[in-house]
Amino acid sequence: MDNLETLIQEYLQREAQAKTRRHFIKNCASGLGGLALSSIFMGCDPLSTQKKKAKITFSERDLNPLATLAPPLSPKVKSVIYLHMAGAPSQLEMFDYKPVLQKLHGKDCPQSLLEGRKFAFIKGTPKLLGPQAEFKQEGESGNWVSNFLPHFKKVVDEVAFVKAVHTDQFNHGPAQLFMHTGSARLGRPSIGAWATYGLGSENQNLPGFVVLTSGGNTPDAGKSVWGSGFLPSVYQGVQCRSKGDPVLYIEDPDGISRNLKKSTIDAINKINKEEYAKYADPEILARINQYEMAYRMQIAVPEVMNINNEPENIKQMYGVEPGKESFANNCLLARKLVEDGVRFVQLFDWGWDTHGNIREGSIDLGLRNKCREIDRPITALILDLKQRGLLDETLIVWGGEFGRTPMQENRGNKKMAYLGRDHHGDAFTMWMAGGGIKKGASHGQTDEIGFSGVEGQVSVHDIHATILHLLGFNHEEFTFDFQGRPFRLTDVEGEIIKDILA
């Protein structure tokens, strides 16, 4: 009851504030100036003989910010599942086979590669570290896959590798931001925010951009990697959990029935509608809509986030562990979400930072465990989407924020406890699969030891341009006006990687 009284009091106070002369003069001095100015400008309008009464009209978008919009160009995919291995997986143990590096194992790294370079931890002259995995050419495409990924090799012909991606960041936070927002500094919208802003989302009961994390930690860059930046906040990613409530506080509190909740929301919306009639602020309409969406989500989200109802063979295929937070659960959820019309699903799996300082972070042991954790789920995800006819209209992107050095890390110029590799942004591997992607393609090459790209080098902006292209956007024309200029996800760069497009 106390709460209700506070609410009423607050309401009365707001009303009073909106009415008193003192408040008006105190807070609106500049507003008055503006008002006066606008009337002067109107007075200067030579073409209008009488002042038109401003008519407020709203597009469907104002009322429902997630209403779908058609992309400007013909899209190849409807949805995106982005699998990010936070911490940066080693391309040299997974996809980028370097037999020469094997031969040079244990030799000093040539000075020419070290001069003028700064690494996160490597000091002095490190030794070269040969690949710790065995490689084989797999599938009809003959692309290389290591024995760390025994399941993935079965779907190698579905994916297109990009083997010489480069970034200019060598620390996790900025590199992750760069990979997801196109800028290493805070404040830009993430790819998923851009996609939902540009396309909306089909299912009116679910958010358009869902984020799932695993590996026991969220990405180093924090929630900004799925933030909305300067776009309206409704486009930011909604983080769901595969353990406990899928969205925090989604369950009604004890003693509150669904009916009571409905009446509460109806009452709030009634007030909001009156408020809107008075002030005609479109934000109020958006708010009304958000309340209603939240109400619908209370039913729809727990339903879609429940993997227990999936058939046993599907659960086994993904290797899910219901009730736990796991990458496998998240992969299955990603399929369910895309199936239900969610536009962008972002998975982060933490724990790929293999420096060799601890057992979990070793290139031969820890990395192999991480590979096992993703190998079956990713393969299952591709096959499951395929058999449902969804792979044609979904894009899967896999990658980390950078790659790892061909040299063994020697933190503090000492031999480390385990084998490890330092951060390295010059060349690393990513892959894409799904609609519009050339199956079995491989674009770009690194030098003999995998230090830098020698052919088909691709920047992070190029990756973004390609993702936007597949969603039906020209990345150079997809902009949002902010602080006096149009902003793009790809800033002033980016070229579509045509070689991996079907």
Partner 1 sequence: MDVLKQLLGRLHPLFVHLPIGFIILGLLIKWYDRKKNAHTDLLPLIFLWAGYSAVLACITGYAQYIGEGYAFETVKIHLWVGIATAVFSFIMYAKLKELKAVAFLSKVSITVLSVVSFILISFTGHEGGTITHGEDYLIEPLPNSVKSALGFETYEEKDIVLTDENWQEAQLYEDVIKPILNNKCISCHNPKKSKGGLLLHSEEAILKGGENGPVITANKASESELFTRMKLPKEDDNHMPPEGKSQPSKEEITLIGAWIDAGHPFDKSIGELNLKKNLFLPFIPKKAANNYPDIEITAASADSIKAIEKTGVHVDLISKSSNFLTVSCINKPAFTNADFDALLPIKSQIAVLDLGGTKITDAIVEKLPMLTNLTVLKLDNTQITGENIEKLDGLAHLKSLNVTYTNFAKEHLTKLANFKKLEKVYVYNTPINATDSTFLKGSDIHIDYGNYQLPQIAADTIVY
**Contact residue for partner 1 among 364, 439, 445, 448 (CB under 8 A):** 364
Least distance to partner 1, CB of residue 50, Å: 30
Does residue number 358 form part of the binding site for partner 1 (CB under 8 A)? no
Does residue number 151 form part of the binding site for partner 1 (CB under 8 A)? yes
Least distance to partner 1, CB of residue 76, Å: 8
Q: 460-487: string of b/e by CB count within 10 Å (b at 16+)? A: bbbbbbbbbbbbbbebeebebeeeeeeb
C-alpha to C-alpha distance for 464 and 459, rounded to whole angstroms: 9
Least distance to partner 1, CB of residue 273, Å: 20
C-alpha to C-alpha distance for 285 and 272, rounded to whole angstroms: 8
Burial label for 42, CB within 10 Å (0-12, 13-18, 19+), is exposed
**Contact residue for partner 1 among 103, 243, 270, 498 (CB under 8 A):** 498
3-state secondary structure 429-494: EEEEEECCECCCCEECEECCCCCCEEECCEEHHHHHHHHHHHHCCCCCCCEEEECCEEEECCCCCC
The site string for partner 1 over 472-491 (x = CB under 8 A, - otherwise) reads x-------------------
**Contact residue for partner 1 among 20, 137, 369, 479 (CB under 8 A):** 369
Q: Which of 185, 282, 268, 262 is nearest to 229 (CA)?
A: 185
CB atoms within 10 A of CB 251: 13
**Contact residue for partner 1 among 388, 415, 479, 491 (CB under 8 A):** 388
Does residue number 139 form part of the binding site for partner 1 (CB under 8 A)? no
The site string for partner 1 over 389-418 (x = CB under 8 A, - otherwise) reads x--x--------------------------
**Contact residue for partner 1 among 384, 422, 426, 447 (CB under 8 A):** 384
Closest to partner 1 by CB, 251 vs 495, is 495
CB atoms within 10 A of CB 192: 27
Least distance to partner 1, CB of residue 341, Å: 5
C-alpha to C-alpha distance for 279 and 363, rounded to whole angstroms: 61
Least distance to partner 1, CB of residue 114, Å: 24
Least distance to partner 1, CB of residue 70, Å: 4
Q: Which of 224, 223, 227 is nearest to 235 (CA)?
A: 227
Specify the 3-state DSSP secondary structure of 128: strand
Least distance to partner 1, CB of residue 285, Å: 18
Residue 347: strand pairing partners: 83, 212
Closest to partner 1 by CB, 204 vs 290, is 204
Least distance to partner 1, CB of residue 52, Å: 24
Closest to partner 1 by CB, 35 vs 70, is 70
In the chain, the amino acid numbered 225 is V
Compute the chain's Rg from CA coordinates: 26
Contacts (Cβ under 8 Å, ≥6 apart) of 290: 234
Do residues 364 and 294 lie in contact, with contact meaning Cβ atoms separated by under 8 Å?
no
Choose one: 32-40, 120-128, 282-290, 363-371; the region binding partner 1 (CB under 8 A). 363-371
DSSP output for 292-314: HHHHHHHHHHHHHT--TTS-HHH
| Half-sphere exposure at residue 243, Cβ-oriented, CA atoms within 13 angstroms | 12
Q: State the number of binding residues for partner 1 (CB under 8 A).
A: 43
Does residue number 204 form part of the binding site for partner 1 (CB under 8 A)? yes
Does residue number 376 form part of the binding site for partner 1 (CB under 8 A)? yes
Closest to partner 1 by CB, 212 vs 500, is 500
Least distance to partner 1, CB of residue 72, Å: 5
State which of positions 205-224 bind partner 1 (CB under 8 A): 205
Does residue number 107 form part of the binding site for partner 1 (CB under 8 A)? no
State which of positions 154-183 bind partner 1 (CB under 8 A): 154
C-alpha to C-alpha distance for 210 and 340, rounded to whole angstroms: 12
In the chain, the amino acid numbered 349 is D
Least distance to partner 1, CB of residue 30, Å: 40
Dihedral, CA of residue 282, residue 247, residue 85 and residue 169, to nearest 10: 40
**Contact residue for partner 1 among 157, 372, 440, 445 (CB under 8 A):** 372
Closest to partner 1 by CB, 81 vs 122, is 81
Does residue number 303 form part of the binding site for partner 1 (CB under 8 A)? no
Least distance to partner 1, CB of residue 488, Å: 17
State which of positions 39-78 bind partner 1 (CB under 8 A): 68-76
Q: Which residues bind partner 1 (CB under 8 A)?
A: 68-76, 150-151, 154, 202-205, 313, 317, 319, 340-341, 364-366, 368-369, 372, 375-376, 379-380, 383-384, 386-389, 392, 472, 495, 498-499, 502
